[in-house]
Structure formats: structure tokens, C-alpha cells
Chain A
Amino acid sequence: MHYILALIVVAGVVASTTKSVAETYTVSPTGSINSISKAIGLSKDGDTVEVEKGAYKGRIVVDKSIKLIGIDKPSIDGQGKGTVVLIKAPKCTFKGFLVIGSGESLTIEDAGIVLDSAPDSIIEDNKLEDVLFGIYLKNSRRSLIKNNVIIGKDLPLPQRGDGIRLWYSPETHILYNHTTQTRDLVMWWSGNTLIKGNKIEKGRYGLHYMYSNDNVFEDNLFIDNFVGGFLMYSSGIRFYHNIFARNQGLATGYGVGFKDLDDVVAEENLFIDNRIGLYLDNSPHLIDSWNKIEKNVIAFNDIGASFMPSIERNIIVSNSFIDNAEQIEVRGGGTLSGNKWFKENEGNFWSDYKGYDENNDGIGEIPYLAESLFESLVDRYPNLRIFIFSPVSQAIELASHAFPIFKPEPKVTDEYPMINSYIPEKFKGFKKKFSMGFLIISTLMVFIPLVLYFYLVKKTKGKVSD
């Protein structure tokens, strides 16, 4: 009896596998199947559709769990209307295509590729050009977006769409993509994602979390955006080894902005040449939450870190604040004593620290105090920032040191300032460029006056003695 049952089961399994044996359809402009939609119509779940090189016009809809593989980058052209590729079935693969020409409607959100209720899908090695939104995931969890290049439409910022947008798509991995000229890389209600190795440039918010918890992003480069990363209303965000550079939007221009963000861990990131390296607004906002900001390099920004008033419960230790025009700003004035600027004999490195290290343990003997009178004036009266770099700013400092009655309360007190900066290995090893032209012109600037001088003085002597 058992044998018979087993046989039936085995026969059933064999029958079902033979029935669903994966078939491969090949699309080519000259072949019998000359449109992708036709191939999708013929295929069934688990099949593969290979598309040979060619220009395919018209939008496509994938409603079966199939693999769409482009060979030699065939192009799919939406011809400026609607969404170019719409994937509506789970476990799809879409790989190796050039997707161009979506519509321009922000209200119906025209995109290059949309995954609508298509979990476990893979979008890989595609190039998207002239699209409003790039890759748009709706209710598509555990998907993989890898090695895509997304170039947005050349529109004014308010009319652009997001490069990559996740909507209720947790556990998605976004790896090694490059987006340019788009709006945001944004996640709405999508937790437990990983974002790694991407380059995001010339957008609005390089990275934007909205109500998305427990996310990790690392090794990304956010450059030339309005804001490198604007992380909002989320908790448990961890990020490592990212570079936030040259994000210089007017009025914003943050390397990274925190808004109502709890339990953040930020380690070994580089914030460089932004308007404001790090901006904290109401973060953390839960009473029992602490944010950890450690071992980051914050350099060459107009303002190193800017805080809204009464920000508390951030642990800011072992960071290097290097040559920011203003290291710490407290908007509207005040102090940041509710945060931890040092722990167990370790503070931060401050390039404007004027103390000394008596016992060579790498820690300065006198505390670092951010108590510049000029800065605290500027924090309260932003219009006065026009006088930065003027001798008057130093004169005011001098006066406040000579007459301590003018000294403001220190914004930051670091009891254990580091003597040497800590720069993670990843950010080292760039060679400086030696410019021969610079040297030659400088040398000329020294010698030409000397020669002229010599000439003038010598000739005059002769004339006068006549």
C-alpha cells in the first residue's frame, strides 16, 4: 500500500516537473518573435525570455514570474508616455536592458521600471535614461536592485522624480547603482534594507528615509546633491564608511540631516565640503534613546555640525572635526551639554584646539571649549556671518579672552580632546597633485619684482648722479 502511494507521489512530482520545464524564448527584431510583449504572452511562470540587441518601441507589462534577459543591451523605448516597464508578478528577473523615455507626469508617477506587488524580484545591470522616476518598488519586498545606472530627465528639481523609490518594500537590497540628475533615493515604510556601494549625485536628497526602521547603508558616495542624506522619522539606522561630499543646497546643504531619528549608529563616515556636515533636528526624540556618532571625519564644511536648540542624548566621540569654518553651531544660541562629547578618556579631535599634550598619551591636558564669542553672536544673529574671516572676528575673540565677562557659555566642552585626527584607512592614500604651472608662476611672481626693482634703482642712481 505504502509502495503504491509512494509511486503515485513520485509520478506526480515527475509529471509536474516535466509540465513546468522552463522554456526559453528568444526575441530578436528579425526573428519569428519580434516583440517582447509577444514573448511574454507565450511564456509561463519560470520561463526565460532572451532579448537580442535591437531597439524595441512601446511599453511592456510583465505579469508572469519570468526572467527577462537582455543580450548586448537591447533598448526599450517608452516614447515619452507612461511607465516603460511594469512588473506585476513575484520572482521576476529583469537584466541587461536599456530603458528610455518614460512620461513626465508626477501625479501618475511615470517611471522607467515599476515593480508592483512583485516581491523577490531582481533588477540588475540595466541602464535607465530620460526617465522621470527610475526604479519604483511598490509592495515588493526582498527584491534586489543591483548595478543599474539611472539618469533622470533634465528638468527643474520640483518636476523631477525619484531615482529609486521603495514603498512598503522591506528587506530590499540596493547595491552598486549610480543615479544622477534625479530627485531622491527614498524609502517609505521599508525596513531592514541594505544600501551599499552606490553613487548618488546631482539630486535633491541623496538618501531619504521616511518611517523606515532598522536600515543599514555603507560605502556609498553622496556627492553634489542638495542634501547628502536626509533621514527622517525612523529608528535603528546604522551607516558606515559613506562619503558625503559637496552637498550644498541653498538653505539646506547638509551632508546628513537627522529629523526625529532614534538609535542611530554612524561610524567612520566622511562629511566633507558640504555647507553643513551634520544637522540634527529633534534627534533622538524618544526619551530613552541614544544616538552614537563615532569615528567620523567632518572636514572643510562651512559648519561642521549644526544643532537645533536643546538637542540631547547624542554620543559624539572619536570624531575628527577638521577645518570647518565653524565647528559647531547651535541655532539660536545655547549649549549642547545634554550630549556626551567624551567618554572614558576619549573625546574628539578639534583642529582649532589650542591645548597641549604633556604626558604624550594623545589626549590634550586642558579641555576643548567651543566658546567663541563671534560664533555665538553669529548663531544668534545670522546676518553677522558676512564678517567671517575679517580681522574684526579675531578682534572680538581677543576682547572676549581679555575680558572674560563677554565670554559666552561654551557650546561644547570636551574634557579629553584628541591631539591627532583619526582618518579611516578608506579615506587615506590619495596622492596630492603637484602642479608645475603653479610653481613656475609663483617663482615668476617672486623674481620679476626683484629684477624690476634692481633695474629701477640702478638706473635712477646713474641719472641722479649726473
Chain B
Amino acid sequence: MDFRNVYILIRKEARDSVKNWWFVLYTICFSALALLLLFLASSRSEIAGFSGFGRTAASLINLVLLFIPLIALVTGAISISNERENGTLSYLLSHPITKSEIFTGKFIGLLLSIWFSISLGFGLAGIAISIRGGGGDISKFLMTAVLSAILAASLLSVGFLISVFSKKAAKATGIAVFLWLVFIVIGDLGIMGSTVAMDLGIKQVFILALFNPTEVFKIASVLTLSPRFEVLGPVGIYAFKTFGREGLFYLLLSVMALWILIPLGYAFLSFSVLRREEL
């Protein structure tokens, strides 16, 4: 693998993402909403010197949970399928460049673009918070941003997996939006339904929740932002007591790492076995 080629592709992707209307729109929406939410929520963030895990943190987590998976899944899904549909992929491959270089370059390029927009959104929100004087602990705020970046990486790799198996960008986008719904609503709804219907125990609910990367992100950020874990109820207390604060955090991080590595690895293998005429 020639890293010069990869570097050129990274720059190409970065430039393409600015040209991509959807991507710019998502970034603007995310930043604007983050700004607005925090301006509204931090107005009553402190009484008598105490502040809690209030609406500020909850709204930030919610915003990340809604937007980041959508951006990551959709951009990932159209990344390869779009070029394949337009024929630009075979054009690219006619240059002295390998498929693994294209894959790596695309992934890193898009990941950087998404990370940039996360950083932008969090940065604007952070400025709003510090101007309102509701600052608090910067390390917690940064940690939430880092967790969002990891969440973005895991869903981008799921997006790539969709992209590799789709010949048309429209189909890929459709699947991505459906998966987004599954991750943020339908999956959790399913667990909630089974908990009520089948009277699932604490352990089962916790294990089922671990299968959803967005839920894992949420638990990890509550763990970061909240001084205690009881806010997540008996399941949270169980997880906290079983693994301890650090152990639980590493467990959640490794689940997210698996969510990056497995789909990405599978996508990479499938992409590299594709024959030239299939592209």
C-alpha cells in the first residue's frame, strides 16, 4: 500500500465532502442545534452552587444520538456505491492505485470530515456554555466529544459495509436510513417490548443493550458526565457494581471498537474480492 496515494485520496474525500450538500447541511444543523440547545438549557444550570446531570448534558447526548449516526451511516453508505454507480470507481482504478488504497483513503478521508464537523459542533456549543458561565469540567466535555467521534467511526464502518454491497447509491441511502431507525428507535423498542412481554432480567437487558452501538455510546457518556450511575436504574447499578466504573468504561469502549473493526473488516474483505467488471 502506497501511503502517498492514500494521502491524496484522503484529500480528495475531504474536498468531496465539502461539495456534498447533505454533509454540509448535517454539519450546519448539528452545530446550530447544539448551540441553540445549550444556550437554552444552561440558563438554569446552577442553584446555590450546585449543578446536576441536567438537561444540558441530556440534550447534548440526545443530539449526538440523533445526528451523528445519521451523518456517519449515510456518508458511509454512499461513499463507494455512488462512485460505483457513476463509473468513477473504475476510472480511479485505471490509475496505478490499488483497491485497498482506495478503501483506506476513503474511510480515513470521510472519518476526518465527520470528526471535523463533530469538533465544530462541540466547539460552538462549548463557546456558548463558557459564555453563559456554566462551564464546569472541560475534561468531561472533551470526553463526550471523543466518545461521539468513536460512535461516528463505528457507524461509518457500518455505512461502508452497506456501500460495498450496494450497486446504487439510492439503495444504499435507503438501507442506511433504515438502519439508523433500527439503531436509535426500533432496536431499543424491541428490547423494551421484550422486557415487558417476557419479563427479562437485569442481566439480559444489559447484554441486549450492548448490541446497539448508540446505546453503548449513551451509557458511556452518562458514565462520563454523571457523578453516579443510579440515573440508569437497576440495570445501570448492576453494570456499575459488576464491572466497576473503569471496568465498565473499558467494556463499553471495547464493544464500540468491535463495532468499528468487524463491519469495516468485513467490508474491506468483500471489497477486495470484487472483480473489476463488477465495479
On A, residues with C-beta under 8 Å from B are 243, 245-246, 248, 250-251, 253, 270, 272-273, 275, 297, 299-302, 322-323, 325, 351, 377-378, 381-392, 394-396, 421, 423, 427-428, 430, 432-439, 441-450, 452-453, 456-457, 459-461, 463-464
Contact = CB atoms under 8 A, between A and B. Distances in A.
Contacts of A302: 53, 230-231
A456 B191 CA distance: 44
A352 to B, nearest CB: 9
Of A272, A325, A449, most buried by chain B (CB within 10 Å of CB) is: A449
Interface stretch (B96-104, B127-135, B244-252): B127-135
Given A383-B235, A385-B234, A390 B50 contact: no
Contacts of A461: 15
Given A297-B47, A441-B138, A325 B58 contact: yes
Nearest to A378: B233
A392 B120 contact: no
A461 B48 CA distance: 55
Contacts of B52: 272-273, 299-301, 323
Interface string B180-218: 000011001101100110001110011001000011001
Contacts, number: 213
The 8 closest A-B pairs by CB, nearest first: A385-B233, A300-B52, A442-B126, A445-B123, A432-B133, A446-B123, A435-B135, A449-B116
Interface of B: 8, 10-12, 14-15, 18, 44, 46-55, 58, 61-62, 65-66, 112, 115-117, 119-120, 122-127, 129-136, 138, 141-142, 145, 184-185, 188-189, 191-192, 195-196, 200-202, 205-206, 209, 214-215, 218-219, 222, 227-228, 230-237
A390 B61 CA distance: 8
B48 A441 contact: no
Contacts of B11: 456-457, 459-460, 463
B237 A438 contact: no
Of B52, B53, B55, B124, most buried by chain A (CB within 10 Å of CB) is: B52
A322 B135 contact: no
Contact of A453 (B18, B48, B125, B237): B18
Given A435-B135, A450-B120, A390 B126 contact: no
Contact of B50 (A246, A382, A391, A460): A246
A246 B124 CA distance: 30
Nearest to A447: B123
Nearest to B14: A456
Of A439, A443, A446, most buried by chain B (CB within 10 Å of CB) is: A446
Contact of B195 (A270, A381, A447, A457): A381
Nearest to B189: A392
Contact of A383 (B50, B125, B135, B233): B233
Contacts of A377: 192, 196
Contact of A456 (B15, B66, B122, B135): B15
26 contacts: A248-B228, A250-B237, A253-B230, A273-B50, A299-B52, A300-B51, A322-B44, A325-B53, A383-B202, A384-B196, A386-B215, A387-B215, A390-B184, A391-B184, A423-B47, A432-B135, A435-B135, A435-B136, A436-B130, A438-B130, A441-B138, A442-B125, A442-B126, A444-B123, A452-B116, A456-B15
Given A383-B195, A441-B126, A445-B126, A433 B135 contact: yes
Contact of A442 (B12, B66, B123): B123
A275 B233 CA distance: 10
A435 B138 contact: yes
Contacts of B65: 390-391
A430 B46 CA distance: 9
A390 B190 CA distance: 14
Of A325, A445, A450, most buried by chain B (CB within 10 Å of CB) is: A445
B142 A434 contact: no
A274 to B, nearest CB: 9
Contact of B232 (A246, A270, A385): A385
A113 B184 CA distance: 60
A377 B189 CA distance: 12
A374 to B, nearest CB: 9
Contacts of A323: 44, 52, 54-55
Nearest to A437: B138
Given A272-B47, A385-B234, A390 B131 contact: no
A381 B196 contact: yes
Given A446-B123, A453-B116, A272 B48 contact: yes
A457 B237 CA distance: 48
Contacts of B115: 449
A243 B185 CA distance: 39
A279 to B, nearest CB: 13
Given A273-B52, A439-B130, A445-B145, A388 B231 contact: yes
A391 B235 contact: no
Contacts of A300: 47, 50-54
A384 B233 contact: yes
Given A245-B50, A441-B126, A453-B18, A386 B141 contact: no
Nearest to A398: B185
Nearest to B192: A384
B133 A434 contact: yes
Contacts of A421: 44
A33 to B, nearest CB: 49
B232 A430 contact: no
Nearest to A464: B12
B50 A389 contact: no
B127 A442 contact: yes
B130 A435 contact: yes
Given A430-B49, A459-B11, A387 B138 contact: no
Nearest to B142: A441
B192 A387 contact: yes
A449 B111 CA distance: 13
Given A386-B235, A391-B62, A441-B126, 17 more contacts: A248-B227, A251-B237, A270-B48, A325-B58, A382-B234, A383-B201, A386-B205, A387-B192, A388-B232, A390-B184, A391-B214, A427-B47, A432-B132, A433-B133, A434-B130, A442-B123, A444-B123
A434 to B, nearest CB: 5
Contacts of A391: 62, 65-66, 184-185, 188, 214
A446 B120 contact: yes
A456 B266 CA distance: 29
Of A253, A300, A442, most buried by chain B (CB within 10 Å of CB) is: A442
A240 B270 CA distance: 69
Contacts of A450: 120
Contacts of B122: 442, 445
